[in-house]
Structure 1
């Protein structure tokens, strides 16, 4: 196992028992069976480790639901979205439980910025889904509907995390599809207007920038063995630096990497950057 991955997995176990604040670097290194020097070769501080955990879990969640929204036909889109969202959430429930508890106790500025960033990515995915699924039917109420869907995900996730409600993914997804359809087809009075969205809309963050995407791609290239995915990443990097390829070829290269377990987030960033 890669040392960085080992540290993240073992630290997560300690954070689950003790919380972020009570867990020290010394405890993490002892639990991992490594020296402090080995820890600091992977992470500059405990805060950097916590942010890396947030990135890891939120990248997986965001890229999972984005993949479903992009690849599912309209007839099953809403059901598959809810199923994928709660299935992914369930897979990362240990970390989600820690994060929800810690956010009520800590006001780490970087942590809050991270969560806001991933929250905006989720909003973009939901909005693209409902625009495609309902079309003109929800033109005036789409932002209200997007926030209602986010509310469903947050509220029902709390039930599973803190009240041990049995998770029946099929029943839950069907139930939320029914509720969402009722809201979409019968809500007439919007609260959140286009103008209000422009006021609260955040500018592009560092994670969205071309430089950050290039950094992400280079890291993946260095980590991967020779393969069609690595070759595709090299061509995509060159395209960002010196655009020469047609949109169809770029889209094909992104499709080459999107199913690779270590390239999901890279694929998501590139699809968002190019508007695919």
Structure 2
């Protein structure tokens, strides 16, 4: 597991500097100080490595934002927390952000494109739950336009920091975008994106993750991490899936225990949705 993470970390440095296409497996192995054989024990190909990087960072990004949206109790803080967490995450993972934006512009790899679209739809789902909570029925006819405006803010302002090296003031930016979003929500009168149009161009969402699939992920995570409070929490959550006996408060506490562990973010997200938190 350590070698796999090393390859991902070192490859990211090269990808950020040269791009996906210009970076060879030979360069990656040389940068890691490992043999090609060691590389292929961890990844079948460079494409598999790239997809693993996308999974790793998009899971970090989406689960952090989803957590803020679902745990912020005060509606007045919700939009600010959403934007602040978004740009703070872009800042922490700026190398990945740069190559992701560049490669989306020139990649013709269908698997790459479908994976990005799948995560994009998960992000839209988070934003939709947020705007419906904030604005209710008042935005029913314009909510899809509002979602695309918010996504535009996220993409365009992140590029300012990623490509122009502007000083990052996440607090000021979040406050500014809260004001802009509220203005749009209150004053859009001519929506372009209708519910019918959304259905026409939206790619089918990934199928809902089943209990059996979540159990499989938990089993894998239990094998990967050392003895710790996170591992104990995963074991209890597995038992809760198989035979529910714990109170909702205790389940929430167990999810809180695992949510920041790098191997557990995705399963924490899946479990939170499965249990309806």
TM-score normalised by the chain length of structure 1: 0.91
Residue-pair matches, total: 275
User: What is the DSSP-based 3-state SS (H/G/I as helix, E as strand, rest coil) of the residue aligned with 2:106?
Assistant: coil
User: Partners of 2:170 and 2:85 in 1: how far apart?
Assistant: 9
CA RMSD of aligned residues (A): 2.2
User: Partners of 1:157 and 1:122 in 2: how far apart?
Assistant: 15
Contact 1:59 1:265 in 2 (8 A): yes
1:163 aligns with 164
What's the CA shift string for 1:58-77, capped at 9, x where partnerless?
11110111111111221111
Q: After the TM superposition, which residues 65-104 of structure 1 pair with which residues of structure 2 at under 5 Å, given as runs?
A: 65-72=65-72, 73-104=74-105
Aligned-residue offset at 1:195? 3.0
User: Partners of 1:247 and 1:45 in 2: how far apart?
Assistant: 45
1:53 aligns with 53
2:139 aligns with 138
User: Partners of 1:195 and 1:30 in 2: how far apart?
Assistant: 51
Contact 2:240 2:246 in 1 (8 A): no
What's the CA shift string for 1:171-203, capped at 9, x where partnerless?
111110110010111123322223333344444
User: Partners of 2:197 and 2:101 in 1: how far apart?
Assistant: 28
Aligned-residue offset at 1:170? 1.5
What's the CA shift string for 1:230-258, capped at 9, x where partnerless?
23322333444x45346725445433322
In the alignment, structure 1 segments of 5+ residues that lack a partner are: none
Summarize the Cα distance change of 1:149–1:43 in structure 2 as closer, same or farther, 3 Å threshold: same
1:41 aligns with 41
User: What is the DSSP-based 3-state SS (H/G/I as helix, E as strand, rest coil) of the residue aligned with 1:21?
Assistant: coil
User: Partners of 2:211 and 2:117 in 1: how far apart?
Assistant: 20
The answer to whether the aligner puts 1:6 opposite 2:23 as a matched pair is no
User: What is the DSSP-based 3-state SS (H/G/I as helix, E as strand, rest coil) of the residue aligned with 1:125?
Assistant: helix
Q: After the TM superposition, which residues 198-217 of structure 1 pair with which residues of structure 2 at under 5 Å, given as runs?
A: 198-205=199-206, 208-217=209-218
1:190 aligns with 191
Q: Which moved more, 1:72-81 or 1:157-166?
A: 157-166
Aligned-residue offset at 1:229? 2.5
Aligned-residue offset at 1:142? 1.4
Contact 2:107 2:113 in 1 (8 A): no
In the alignment, structure 2 segments of 5+ residues that lack a partner are: none
Aligned-residue offset at 1:218? 1.6
Contact 1:254 1:267 in 2 (8 A): yes
What's the CA shift string for 1:8-41, capped at 9, x where partnerless?
1111111122211121111111111111111111
Contact 2:230 2:258 in 1 (8 A): yes
Summarize the Cα distance change of 1:167–1:71 in structure 2 as closer, same or farther, 3 Å threshold: same
Contact 2:69 2:78 in 1 (8 A): yes
Contact 1:206 1:212 in 2 (8 A): no
